[in-house]
A = this chain, B = another copy of it.
């Protein structure tokens, strides 16, 4: 520990920020830096000063005064400006101008901060490696779970632990839709339309409701937690669009709520080959689980460490204020001097070269309980057919509920909860039933989240 003297510290110059993207989050960052300027300067050790901004449209009224910031029509040119130390990318999109700007920033030897989960999920390894070579920081706290400092919590707070599992609610739109369906008994399409009207869901909601956004975030967390190279393509991803109000009612009657859960763990697989299991899918969550009381557009992540035990991080998963809070936390870290030397290498906790390329773990051997929902024709023999398939596949049934009357377009709902069984057995049972004229829709399988 060498003594450092304050007089020798160069840390009193303002840290100069270029901001690309002036949507909700970009405007939130400007508002935050203006509103909390004094305390930020005290905590950062120097003022944080936005010097230049850029967005697709200059003229749009954003409700804030941009006159004191230089404007660049070409956002990718922000990185080369001599009055910029740190580039903040809030444009979005995995490629395109966001990626060009990110590459430019690093090439110019400037720190990069981004809220862009898609870009990090697809290009995070290459960007982090380039940043390491340049000795600059790349930070993306806002890319996962909005305002919750979960990347810091995992990379630094839990750094002493071998992580055994991470699981969480990573998409606020889905959580809003599912908890609203639960509260109101209404169907998916209706609640989605309302979420779009309220601004909780986008005009094209595909990335959210099909689990892709959550999979982006999970793949980033997995890399940090398990020391693995990001492998977004291998995340087993299912969305929530097939969930019926009747599923939610059924789950509720059994003591569960339904949530879109991302889960990842290192899994040696049936033959002992090391692998990384990553899944985003709707799960039945027992009411006594940490995640069962996470309602509305909230995110929550549980990190299971071999010494820490379970750590829960919870808060707003989106929104201008929370996301801006995460972006500016990254800026303050850099202002404080946490981007020099080894710090530049720790975007994913260890240098990129040290991250393992872990094979995707198979899931068939995984033991758990499942909820299986059938929509069947209302005629004799259907239950016998389903239960025979379960028996033949070795799936033991814990409970079976058949609703007395046809509710779903003339079909009858049959819901089964299995005992603990390998996932492959459930798959086999459904294969045996495949093509049966008794089934009027593809069955829906949801895992029950284990404690």
| A binding-site residues for B, Cβ under 8 Å | 1-6, 9, 11, 28, 32, 35-36, 39-40, 42-45, 85-86, 109-111, 134-136, 141, 147-149, 152-153, 156-162, 227, 290, 293, 300, 305-316, 319, 321-322, 324-329, 331-333, 336-346, 349-350, 354
**Cα–Cα, bound, A340→B313 (Å):** 28
**Cα–Cα, bound, A299→B30 (Å):** 35
**Cα–Cα, bound, A315→B159 (Å):** 15
Residue pairs across A and B with Cβ atoms less than 8 A apart, 30 shown, are A1-B136, A2-B109, A3-B109, A4-B340, A9-B341, A28-B307, A32-B160, A32-B307, A35-B307, A39-B162, A40-B160, A43-B349, A43-B350, A147-B308, A149-B156, A149-B311, A152-B152, A156-B332, A157-B329, A161-B325, A308-B321, A308-B326, A309-B315, A309-B319, A309-B321, A310-B315, A314-B314, A336-B346, A337-B340, A337-B342
- For A159, the chain B residues whose CB sits under 8 A away are 40, 43-44, 328-329, 332-333
Determine whether the beta carbon of B342 is less than 8 Å from that of A160: no
A307 is contacted by which of B141, B322, B343, B350 (Cβ under 8 Å)?
B322
- For A158, the chain B residues whose CB sits under 8 A away are 149, 325, 329
Minimum CB distance partner of A86 in chain B: B1
Residue from A39, A40, A86, A327 having most chain B Cβ neighbours under 10 A: A39
Residue from A42, A44, A333, A338 having most chain B Cβ neighbours under 10 A: A338
Determine whether the beta carbon of A322 is less than 8 Å from that of B336: no
Main secondary structure of the interface of A (DSSP, over half): mixed
Determine whether the beta carbon of A42 is less than 8 Å from that of B354: yes
Determine whether the beta carbon of B147 is less than 8 Å from that of A311: yes
Minimum CB distance partner of A350 in chain B: B42
Determine whether the beta carbon of B332 is less than 8 Å from that of A337: no
**Cα–Cα, bound, A202→B332 (Å):** 41
- Output the least CB separation between A300 and chain B (Å): 8
- For A350, the chain B residues whose CB sits under 8 A away are 42-43
Determine whether the beta carbon of B148 is less than 8 Å from that of A311: yes
- Output the least CB separation between A297 and chain B (Å): 11
Minimum CB distance partner of A340 in chain B: B4
- Output the least CB separation between A320 and chain B (Å): 8
- For A310, the chain B residues whose CB sits under 8 A away are 315-316
**Cα–Cα, bound, A428→B290 (Å):** 41
- Output the least CB separation between A139 and chain B (Å): 12
**Cα–Cα, bound, A134→B6 (Å):** 10
Determine whether the beta carbon of B313 is less than 8 Å from that of A312: yes
- For A36, the chain B residues whose CB sits under 8 A away are 160-162, 306-307
Determine whether the beta carbon of A336 is less than 8 Å from that of B325: no
- For A149, the chain B residues whose CB sits under 8 A away are 152-153, 156-158, 311
- In the complex, the 9 A-B pairs of residues with the closest C-beta atoms, listed nearest first: A149-B157, A160-B328, A308-B325, A312-B314, A4-B135, A307-B321, A147-B308, A311-B315, A307-B325
Determine whether the beta carbon of A160 is less than 8 Å from that of B332: yes
**Cα–Cα, bound, A158→B40 (Å):** 11
Determine whether the beta carbon of A11 is less than 8 Å from that of B341: yes
**Cα–Cα, bound, A325→B161 (Å):** 7
Minimum CB distance partner of A108 in chain B: B1
Determine whether the beta carbon of A156 is less than 8 Å from that of B329: yes
- For A161, the chain B residues whose CB sits under 8 A away are 36, 325
- Output the least CB separation between A104 and chain B (Å): 14
Determine whether the beta carbon of B136 is less than 8 Å from that of A342: no
- Output the least CB separation between A28 and chain B (Å): 7
- For A153, the chain B residues whose CB sits under 8 A away are 149, 152-153, 157, 313
Determine whether the beta carbon of B227 is less than 8 Å from that of A42: yes
- For A156, the chain B residues whose CB sits under 8 A away are 149, 152, 329, 332-333
- For A5, the chain B residues whose CB sits under 8 A away are 135
A336 is contacted by which of B6, B43, B343 (Cβ under 8 Å)?
B343
Determine whether the beta carbon of B152 is less than 8 Å from that of A1: no
Minimum CB distance partner of A292 in chain B: B293
Decide yes or no: A45 and B307 within 8 Å by CB, A5-B135, A314-B312 being known contacts: no
Determine whether the beta carbon of A343 is less than 8 Å from that of B338: yes
